[in-house]
Structure 1
Amino acid sequence: MPRIKGLKDISFAKLLTDVAGKEATYDTVKKYERSVTAKITPKSESETEYSDDNVEEVVNQFSQIDVEIELNMISTQTRAFLQGSKVVNGILIESKDDVAPYVAMIFKAKKSNGKYRYVCLYKGKFELSEDNYETEADKIKTQTASLKATFMAREFDGNYRLMADEDTEDIVAADLEKWFTAVPTVPIETTSEA
């Protein structure tokens, strides 16, 4: 089984509407910076039910996804977009009143067989980014940018993530070709008659 060995094209799209029972809408998907790392940590709540002196059932429920990404850098435009700040005449203005938008995050990860895994997280909000600066010394040391976000299920349909392996037998190539042109939609199940 091929292993994940790469990461590229982390892209974002602003979530415009997300209402139960009505299709969620997004702005244009855009790649901002180059990808270095991504850590996706789904979380769930768990409760163990006991009866007759034994475990009767374990109930698990999705809670959220914690996301940490590292980018080669974070421009003022990217920071403004993810934090809900603004840029005026090329200058980033950060305010206590900024409200970060909900966004979808899309990326792909190369596998050891040369094929890709495609991932879309539907609804999340990024925290303020941390800045690290260091004086120049004898050896060159560059800085990257780390960002944290919390992703959740959409109100519209309860979905929080899509994941597709390019080398899966029943994958529809056309679905993957559109992955970065718009936020991917949930595929419709088709049944074949024997």
Structure 2
Amino acid sequence: MPEKNYKSSTGVDGFYYGIIGDGTVAETVERVKFLQTITVEMPQEPVRAHGDNITAEMAINSGDISITAGFHKIPLEDKQKLLGWEVVEGITATSSNDSPPYVGVIFTKTFQDGSREYVGLPKGMFTRPNVTANSKGESTEFSSEEIAAQFMDRTVEGFDEEKSALFAYDEPGETTNRDALFIKIFGVPHPDAGTPTEPEGA
């Protein structure tokens, strides 16, 4: 029996999104660089049925999957695509009638030995972030941006039931499972499909 992997991740990298609409194939796949933090919330709650003063049966009630991602900066072009913002004569605008598209998302957890774990979310919708700014003080400090999204189940080729999150892992220098996950989530290959990555610290 193979040895189990107990290594803990040391970084995050490779945030990709693709607009899938109501289908399973992305129109294009875009990368947003300089991902700093990301949290995926996957709540579940046990539900009990009682009788004769005891628990007669239990089931699991699964809540909505959501993510909160922090970036060094989210380019305006990506906000336009992710949030369905309108652009007229170089001016970007948002309103109460915005209609963000359905998107798939993949990001990477990196490990010190160069191995990688991938998290794929097949179908979700982003919500517009807050706008914040700080006055420059005695020392220079960089700002950051945060954006959130909610995800739902979607048909994923090869699985019997609809899924809301997929996970994959590659040993150092390998990309086989990364490439397979890209096909599952986006319906198109990774931009560097077939090109092994060099093991590196993360």
Q: Name the TM-score, length of structure 2 as normaliser.
A: 0.78
Task: Note if contact 1:108-1:119 (Cα within 8 Å) is conserved in structure 2.
Answer: yes
Distance 1:117 1:14 in 2: 22
1:162 maps to amino acid = L
**Equivalence for 1:62:** 62
Which residue, out of 159, 162, 166, partners 1:162? 166
Give the count of matched residue pairs. 177
Distance 2:121 2:144 in 1: 23
- Residue aligned with 1:143, SS: coil
Question: Which residues in structure 2 correspond to 1:170-181 (within 5 Å)?
Answer: 173-177=175-179, 179-180=181-182
> Which range is displaced more, 87-96 or 25-34?
87-96
- Residue aligned with 2:77, SS: helix
Q: Deviations over 1:5-59 (max 9, x none)?
A: 11011110012224xxxxx332222103321100001023531111232122221
Greater percentage in strand: 1
Aligned residues: CA RMSD: 2.4
Structure 2: stretches of 5+ with no match in the other structure: 1-5, 188-202
Distance 1:85 1:159 in 2: 28
- Residue aligned with 1:77, SS: helix
**Equivalence for 1:146:** 146
**Equivalence for 1:3:** 8
- Residue aligned with 1:109, SS: strand
Percent identical pairs in the alignment equals 20
**Equivalence for 2:133:** 133
Task: Note if contact 2:109-2:118 (Cα within 8 Å) is conserved in structure 1.
Answer: yes
Q: Name the TM-score, length of structure 1 as normaliser.
A: 0.81
- CA change 1:15–1:184 in 2 (3 A) is closer
**Equivalence for 1:189:** none
**Equivalence for 1:79:** 79
Distance 1:101 1:112 in 2: 36
Task: Note if contact 2:170-2:177 (Cα within 8 Å) is conserved in structure 1.
Answer: no
